[in-house]
Chains A and B, each alone.
Chain A
Amino acid sequence: MGIKSPLYAIHKKLGGKFTEFAGFEMPIQYSSILEEHLAVRKTVGLFDVSHMSNAWIIGKDATKLLSLTTTADATKVGDKQSQYTEILKEDGTIIDDTIFMNLGDKYMIIPNAGMNVIVTKWLNSQAKKYKLDAKVEDVSRDFVILAIQGPKSRETLQKLTNTDLNSVKFFGCQYTNIAGVDCIISHTGYTGELGFELQINPPKKAEIVFNKILDAGKEFDIKPIGLGARDTLRLEKCFMLAGNEFQGGRTPLEATLGWTVNWDHDFIGKEALLKQKEKGSYEKMTCLICVDKGIPRHGCEIHKESKKVGIVTSGTLSPCLNVGIAMGYVQPDFRVEGSILDIVVRDKPLKAKIVKPPFVPKDWVKN
């Protein structure tokens, strides 16, 4: 089996069922994916996402290194701000999507699960190649990452800290103390709800924080949330899952992440992206909602009049909408909002309509 989270024993005690994901043995669910999913949309849920990676970026050229190796201009990311971005190869394809945090004294970057070695090596090799005074240190196993997400997340967490959480703005980040434990907090998440993420070191201190958050959230009926609901929550918001959506080499333009690209600075992969942009006519990430009953899955073909025009990268039943939803790459000529395509599930066409992301709007629970 894979690497166990430092909180493995707690998950077991809470009735977690485990799955292997990117080399880690993590809880896929505790009670039920549907229940956990709705808990996050309606109140609050707590996730252990220690399978995600952590690396420090230090040195006087750390900002330059981040600007060079990501689609973001790191000089524009001030103290106590974090940034969602992608790390590209020269050919413009995505190595990983990530968040980096400017903590004032140094940066922390959060590569995806199992991507720590690849990303650390890549960044260090670019620092060397471009003669930058910057060093990237993989500290993935030194941190536990907790995510607390849902409309009641702020209220829950506020009970455990003196930091005014209203002052931690969207995508803000800073050092703090939660339940007596020093950690890094960021107003970020992967659910589309109000939420925070905590980076806790050393890992053994995370147990206290995890339990205290569950206690603090009791009045809101907080639930521990597994990777199953994490996936359905992000899919309803059309957030990318690196292993699915970038499989086989995709550029930010194909992945409809053009909004994360700052064109006013130089970065690795920029030339390739400019060429792709100029040439036009490439497959793009597309969101499809099923009209027929059924559930699209990763790898299903997308057809128009029995001709293949795309492929599903992620699909599920939407717990909020109770219909099948899918994300996938579709050829440009067929990517017309409102039009109907067929998703082929077990050799049968399933009618699905192209919609604008996200599938589930902000404040869904209020409407």
Chain B
Amino acid sequence: MSDEVRDNLKYTETHEWLKLKDNKAVVGITDHAQSKLTDIVFVELPQIGKKVKKGDELCIVESVKSVSEIYAPISGKITKVNNQLDDAPETVNSSPYDDGWLVELEVENKSEIDKLLDAKSYKKII
């Protein structure tokens, strides 16, 4: 069971991670989440330009036997999606924090980010 938690990221209780770059935030699922979901075989990504509120469904990740909703850690407009996952959804398993990222958002309200978990707090809940 792999449970890597990276220090420079923010986390949610529903196992998403967020990395802030200027006013953009990249979002994915944690190593713990991918390991629990096991073989990821399909990722349904949202439309670029779509606006989401914190807690909304951001995308869908499916393993052979399960369908999981991934929630927006913060509110914002979707600026990029990881199209590589269309042909290689298993990248979310092999590289959850790097090549297996899901979505990039334009940050609407920076204070939402402050409310997310840091690595230390996230480690406590997994």
Contact = CB atoms under 8 A, between A and B. Distances in A.
Interface of A: 17, 28-29, 32-34, 228, 231-232, 293-295, 297, 316-317, 319, 346
Interface stretch (B6-14, B38-46, B112-120): B38-46
Contact of B65 (A231, A293, A294, A346): A231
A358 to B, nearest CB: 18
Given A295-B41, A317-B42, A33 B64 contact: yes
Interface residues on B, range: 10 to 19
A227 to B, nearest CB: 9
A285 to B, nearest CB: 22
28 contacts: A17-B38, A28-B65, A29-B38, A32-B38, A32-B39, A33-B38, A33-B39, A33-B63, A33-B64, A34-B39, A34-B41, A34-B64, A228-B64, A228-B65, A231-B65, A293-B42, A293-B86, A294-B42, A295-B41, A295-B42, A295-B62, A297-B67, A316-B64, A316-B65, A317-B41, A317-B42, A317-B64, A319-B64
Given A293-B86, A346-B60, A33 B65 contact: yes
Interface in B1-35: none
A213 B41 CA distance: 31
Interface of B: 38-39, 41-42, 44, 60, 62-65, 67, 86
B44 A346 contact: yes
8 interchain residue pairs of minimum CB distance: A33-B64, A317-B41, A34-B39, A228-B65, A32-B39, A295-B42, A295-B62, A33-B39
Given A33-B65, A317-B64, 15 more contacts: A28-B65, A29-B38, A32-B38, A32-B39, A33-B38, A33-B63, A33-B64, A34-B39, A34-B64, A293-B42, A293-B86, A294-B44, A295-B42, A317-B42, A346-B60
Nearest to B87: A293
A231 B66 CA distance: 13
A28 B38 CA distance: 11
Nearest to B42: A295
A346 B42 CA distance: 14
Contacts of B39: 32-34
A19 B64 CA distance: 14
Of the listed residues B38, B62, B64, B86, the one surrounded by the most CB atoms of chain A closer than 10 A to its CB is B64
A232 B62 CA distance: 15
A232 B65 CA distance: 9
A293 B86 CA distance: 8
Contacts of B62: 295, 317
Contacts of B65: 28, 33, 228, 231, 316
B81 to A, nearest CB: 14
B86 A232 contact: no
Contacts of A294: 42, 44
A39 B109 CA distance: 49
